[in-house]
Amino acid sequence: FAITHPQSHMVYIITWNVGSAVPPDDITSLFGPNVSDGNIDMFIIGLQEVNSMINKRLKDVLFSDQWSELCMDTLSPFGYVLVASQRMQGVLLLVFSKFCHLPFLRGVQTQSTRTGLGGYWGNKGGVSARMTMFGHPVCFLNCHLPAHMRNLEQRMEDFESILQQQQFEGGAATGVLDHDVVFWFGDLNFRIEDYDIHVVKCAIDSNKLPLLWERDQLNMAKNTELILEGFMEGQLKFPPTYKFDVGTHTYDTSAKKRKPAWTDRILWRLRRTGSPVPTHNAALQRGLTSWLGGATKVTQHAYRSHMSFTISDHKPVSALFSLHFPFRVDMPLVELQVNKEWCKASDATVRFTVASTYQRSSWDWVAIYKVSLKFINYYTYFPQCQHLQLSSCRLDSDITKIIRRMCGPKRSMQRR
């Protein structure tokens, strides 16, 4: 396999409790001001409380859910493809990547863990997606933990249960925390202790947010809970993102008058190694930069809320990271060669070379996609290639129908 010099990999993560709302018409601004530039390598979207009423879920089983379709429609024009999707009732995780990175995202697996009603109901819990990214195992974990101030201990127990139950097949990284890099995000539901609602609102209005950081349950728990050891988070320089009157920028004015809190969070963790962590680094002390054995580095460049969205009682939160790996494995396992455009069935031959490290299987196949690919599962046609050693794959007569349907009688077909 080929190993190249280090290069930063930009990852943009969004978490949003959408409160069962219908998606807005346009969410482009949620992906940052420069989404069209192509500088972001991957977009990770974690949603909570996606509408999961029975009639809505039945429709989503037959068709893609509205949120997934909206994200695909927004990102695919800029060259991003949905690599992994996992849903557990209202908890949804979407992983998008630039098209050019697809050959180097391998071993993609997803998991889900229910923690609602003692583990029988999926309104609370966690969904995850893991993969090796240019040879490095990375895991994305989207959680919706129990609500209310009094349930701090239950939140910690549920998070520990999610980590214990989510196991992946193959490789060295079988558990979530076995991965080189873990991103943990979602509606984690941690609250601000001690201060009453008037003190909290006054601190927000006067921009004295550090006063509230000190009593934030998650910040305090990181100092005492072993399960949180190693998890890092950037400074909360934006106001609490919960709870708002729907359709407004006003904190809860209902009879319950919920106290504002930073319930929506994005954290990261690097796997421990024997190499010492350079704690003298000033950026590390600020919680913005972390190191894995002096080699793999994660740097947070932005951590913000998106106050303009008002469809939910939560505001979306996003964070931008750069992943700096010590090396990159960037040789494709399989390389395809197609010499000409396909105008008829007899043209439909794919030749390929297979890397010596590739583990062949009788289930190997070559897929045909439309050029405007949105999701790797949205292939139009595929044949099985049961004998990869032949280094070619001839498509059967059914391809004639595919070519005619997609291209018309006078147009040739493009392959991706």
Tokens of 231: 């998890």
Q: Provide the pLDDT for residue 238.
A: 98
What residues does each domain of the chain span? Answer: 3-328, 334-407
364 vs 33, which has greater pLDDT?
A: 33
47 vs 327, which has greater pLDDT?
A: 47
Question: Strands 91-98, 80-88: parallel, antiparallel or unpaired by DSSP?
Answer: antiparallel
64 vs 403, which has greater pLDDT?
A: 64
What's the CA angle centered on 75, arms 73 and 77, to 5 degrees? 80
In whole angstroms, what is the distance from residue 234 CA to residue 262 CA? 13
Please report, rounded to a whole number, the percentage of residues in the chain having pLDDT higher than 90. Answer: 63
Tokens of 283: 């950026």
Task: Compute CA 354 distance to the chain's CA centroid, rounded to the nearest angstrom.
Answer: 30
Q: Which residues pair with 143 in a beta bridge?
A: 126, 186
Q: Provide the pLDDT for residue 116.
A: 80
pLDDT, mean of residues 53-70: 68
**For residue 400, pLDDT beyond 50:** no
pLDDT, mean of residues 338-366: 76
**For residue 77, pLDDT beyond 70:** yes
Highest-scoring range by mean pLDDT, 20-24, 273-277, 278-282, 341-345: 20-24
Q: Does domain 3-328 have CATH number 3.40.640.10?
A: no
pLDDT tens sequence across 162-209: 999 999 998 778 999 999 999 999 999 999 999 999 999 999 999 999
pLDDT, mean of residues 315-321: 98
In whole angstroms, what is the distance from residue 374 CA to residue 378 CA? 7
Q: Provide the pLDDT for residue 171.
A: 77
In whole angstroms, what is the distance from residue 385 CA to residue 382 CA? 9
**For residue 377, pLDDT beyond 90:** no
Give residue 337's pLDDT band: very low, low, confident or very high (50, 70, 90).
confident
The DSSP annotation for 90-157 comes to: TEEEEEEEEGGGGGGEEEEEEEEEEEEGGGTEEEEEEEEEEEEETTEEEEEEEEE---SGGGHHHHHH
Instruction: Spell out the residues 6+ positions from residue 49 whose beta carbon is closer than 8 angstroms to its own.
Output: 17, 18, 19, 20, 90, 144, 187, 312
Instruction: Spell out the residues 6+ positions from residue 34 whose beta carbon is closer than 8 angstroms to its own.
Output: none
Q: Provide the pLDDT for residue 270.
A: 95
pLDDT tens sequence across 17-28: 999 999 999 999
Q: Which residues pair with 47 in a beta bridge?
A: 16, 92
Tokens of 350: 């794919």
Please report, rounded to a whole number, the percentage of residues in the chain having pLDDT higher than 70. Answer: 81
H/E segment holding residue 69: helix 66-75
Tokens of 11: 């990852």
